[in-house]
Amino acid sequence: MATLLAILFLTVSAAAAASFVPQDNFLLDCGATATATSPDGRVFKTEQQTSQFLQAQDDYKISADAAATDVPSPVYLTARIFVQEATYSLHLTRPGFHFVRLHFFPINNTVFDLQKATFTVTTEKYVLLHSFNVNNTNKAILKEFLINAVDPHFSIKFSPQKNSAAFINAIEVVSAPDELVTDSAANLLPVGNYAGLFAFAYQTVYRLNMGGPLITSANDTLGRTWTNDEPYLKAKNLAQTVSVSPSVIKYPSGGTNSLLIAPHMVYATLVEMAEANVNQPKFNVTWNFEVDMAFGYLLRLHFCDIVSKALNNLNFNVYINGQMAISDLDLSHTMGALAVPYYKDIVVNSSLVSNGLITVQIGPSNLGSGDLNAILNGLEVLKMSNTVDSLDGEFGVDGRRESSGSKRGTVAAVGFAMMFGAFVGLGAMVIKWHKRPQDWQKRNSFSSWLLPVHASDTSFMSSKASGSHKSNFYSSTLGLGRYLYNSIFSKLRKYIDYLTNILPHQLFTNFANGSFCC
């Protein structure tokens, strides 16, 4: 409580840094022989200090020449390579959301070409990366996840693909403050409340400081990185940036938003509608983000009115993928003052991301009587885990596959069933061919050995009908073998009939009816 009060007090003073001490704070510099300090001042542990966490068959530790390697942090200068599965097991002391950050840089070495290393990374519950590959990039790659860990035992497993290898330069597993993730948000469509966000895992896909500079982990109390939005801006001439001194930002003392949600620098800069178009002021400022369309997303939009000269002078709308996301937002009314940070979380279902894009637009509302303007200070796009607890690909840790109710899924399933049927049929033919009677050519050839003409169904039915026959039926292993053989083949025959006659007919009629589903 004392620390909470301290945080609330400190947020009033813009110059003070927020103090959040994560209870779980695992910083592992894989393959390192000496401790490394990242530019934000955090000290990462060496191999020797962390060896108790790792279970691995391999012992490949590699390092790069610091002088000849261009990386943003010394933690990228060493790595571990795993040719076989390897697991880091950590004991957490505080349940709740944790940042899990995986740092990758493909160091040149004699063990394995890491540009070609393809591997999967999982926790006990979630797939974090599936068939991950650095794709010939020669840059440091950071993958950040937010995972609600309720079990004290937390593990991260690296599984190389066949004949490949896995590698990792550094790992962070760090408690996130409780206020960072709330259980409910607004649902984009249908409009309403979305409850149950604690049940998901998240991957940071974009974290942007609109109209502002790169904010590195050194300037963010939670070690996050915020990048500039310009690469995603659709029409640059329709937008302009505004920035004020960070000391102008007044965090609300009630706790609805604190420095831990986003630092001053995020709220002290923004993108607004360009004044160049005052003659035709009704337009939107648009950002486009490429995303994996198989997943849903949680968007956190950050606002702070640092442009208005008076209260109640700025009303605007926010759209996501063409849908109204926030209607007629008046920040000074909502927050009671200017320059007070505000954020809103919105869930975007995967069905609304069918073109692989998330489009965020801001534009003036018709209701406002004040300035025709619209603003956005920051944006976070977080991928949500799917129904089988994966953040990458459609399979879960336990091999379950995401059951997609979509048409795409149905068509794929039918295709798969037909292919499977063909394989089974082919396999049966091969087995039959090997077991063919010596004189098969003299008999009535192909069909006679391919499928049993003496259908067993009748004998099975009769034996079932009169229990007395049962003992006779199973009297010898030969009988049982023949029974299984016949019953499998009769089923197979029916299945082939189904595939060749009924299914195409059904598909055709469904297609003609306009519904492409069985």
Ligand X SMILES: *[C@@H]1O[C@H](CO)[C@@H](O)[C@H](O)[C@H]1NC(C)=O
Q: Which two tokens stand for residue 482?
A: 């023949």
The CB-based long-range contact list for 409-413 (8 Å cut-off, 24+ gap) reads 410/516, 410/517, 410/518, 411/516
Interface segment toward ligand X; rule CB under 6 A; list 25-33, 132-140, 466-474, 497-505: 132-140
Closest residue to ligand X, based on beta-carbon distance:
296
Touching ligand X, residues 219-248 (CB under 6 A): 219
User: Residue 90 or residue 325: which is nearer to ligand X going by CB?
Assistant: 325
Distance between CA atoms of residues 45 and 31, nearest Å: 10
User: Residue 108 or residue 476: which is nearer to ligand X going by CB?
Assistant: 108
User: Residue 90 or residue 146: which is nearer to ligand X going by CB?
Assistant: 146
Residue 503 C-beta: closest distance to ligand X, Å? 27
What are the DSSP E strand ranges found in 374-449?
375-376, 378-384
Distance between CA atoms of residues 441 and 34, nearest Å: 76
Name which position in 141, 244, 424, 455 contacts ligand X (CB under 6 A).
141
Specify whether the CB–CB gap between 391 and 458 falls below 8 A: no
Name which position in 39, 322, 437, 479 contacts ligand X (CB under 6 A).
322
361 binds ligand X (CB under 6 A): yes
Specify whether the CB–CB gap between 268 and 243 falls below 8 A: yes
8 binds ligand X (CB under 6 A): no
173 binds ligand X (CB under 6 A): no
With H, G, I as helix, E, B as strand and everything else as coil, classify residue 464. helix
Residue 488 C-beta: closest distance to ligand X, Å? 37
With H, G, I as helix, E, B as strand and everything else as coil, classify residue 455. coil
User: Residue 210 or residue 384: which is nearer to ligand X going by CB?
Assistant: 384
Q: Which two tokens stand for residue 174?
A: 């760090």
Residue 307 C-beta: closest distance to ligand X, Å? 19
Distance between CA atoms of residues 36 and 30, nearest Å: 10
- What number of helices (H) and strands (E) belong to the chain? 10, 28
Residue type (1 letter), 503: L
Distance between CA atoms of residues 407 and 341, nearest Å: 42
Residue 133 C-beta: closest distance to ligand X, Å? 5
Specify whether the CB–CB gap between 156 and 123 falls below 8 A: yes
Distance between CA atoms of residues 265 and 262, nearest Å: 8
Interface segment toward ligand X; rule CB under 6 A; list 210-218, 329-337, 412-420, 431-439: 210-218
384 binds ligand X (CB under 6 A): yes
105 binds ligand X (CB under 6 A): no
Residue 458 C-beta: closest distance to ligand X, Å? 46
Specify whether the CB–CB gap between 134 and 62 falls below 8 A: no
Name which position in 217, 284, 373, 377 contacts ligand X (CB under 6 A).
284
**Total residues contacting ligand X (rule CB under 6 A)?**
21
Distance between CA atoms of residues 152 and 87, nearest Å: 16
192 binds ligand X (CB under 6 A): no
With H, G, I as helix, E, B as strand and everything else as coil, classify residue 117. coil
Q: Is the bond leading into 190 cis (omega within 30 degrees of zero)?
A: yes
Name which position in 96, 106, 211, 363 contacts ligand X (CB under 6 A).
363
Interface segment toward ligand X; rule CB under 6 A; list 24-32, 50-58, 130-138, 305-313: 130-138
106 binds ligand X (CB under 6 A): no
Residue 434 C-beta: closest distance to ligand X, Å? 41
User: Residue 92 or residue 211: which is nearer to ligand X going by CB?
Assistant: 211
Name which position in 188, 262, 265, 304 contacts ligand X (CB under 6 A).
265
Distance between CA atoms of residues 195 and 184, nearest Å: 4
User: Residue 87 or residue 321: which is nearer to ligand X going by CB?
Assistant: 321
Interface segment toward ligand X; rule CB under 6 A; list 6-14, 128-136, 369-377, 453-461: 128-136
Q: Which two tokens stand for residue 17?
A: 């840094």
Residue 185 C-beta: closest distance to ligand X, Å? 10
User: Residue 213 or residue 479: which is nearer to ligand X going by CB?
Assistant: 213
The CB-based long-range contact list for 351-356 (8 Å cut-off, 24+ gap) reads 351/406, 352/188, 352/189, 352/320, 352/321, 352/323, 353/291, 353/293, 353/295, 353/296, 353/297, 353/321, 354/293, 355/293, 356/290, 356/291, 356/292, 356/293
365 binds ligand X (CB under 6 A): no
60 binds ligand X (CB under 6 A): no
User: Residue 349 or residue 510: which is nearer to ligand X going by CB?
Assistant: 349
Residues 6+ apart with CB under 8 A from 167: 79, 80, 81, 82, 104, 106, 112, 114, 117, 119, 158
Distance between CA atoms of residues 49 and 26, nearest Å: 11
Q: Which two tokens stand for residue 94?
A: 């505080």
456 binds ligand X (CB under 6 A): no
Specify whether the CB–CB gap between 111 and 376 falls below 8 A: no
Specify whether the CB–CB gap between 374 and 362 falls below 8 A: yes
282 binds ligand X (CB under 6 A): yes
* Entry field: residues in the chain: 518
351 binds ligand X (CB under 6 A): yes
108 binds ligand X (CB under 6 A): yes
User: For 288, how many CA atoms within 13 A lie in the half-sphere containing its CB?
Assistant: 7
Name which position in 96, 177, 223, 296 contacts ligand X (CB under 6 A).
296
Interface segment toward ligand X; rule CB under 6 A; list 74-82, 282-290, 326-334, 393-401: 282-290
Q: List interacting residues with ligand X (CB under 6 A).
A: 108, 133-135, 141, 213, 215, 218-219, 265, 282-284, 296, 319, 322, 349, 351, 361, 363, 384
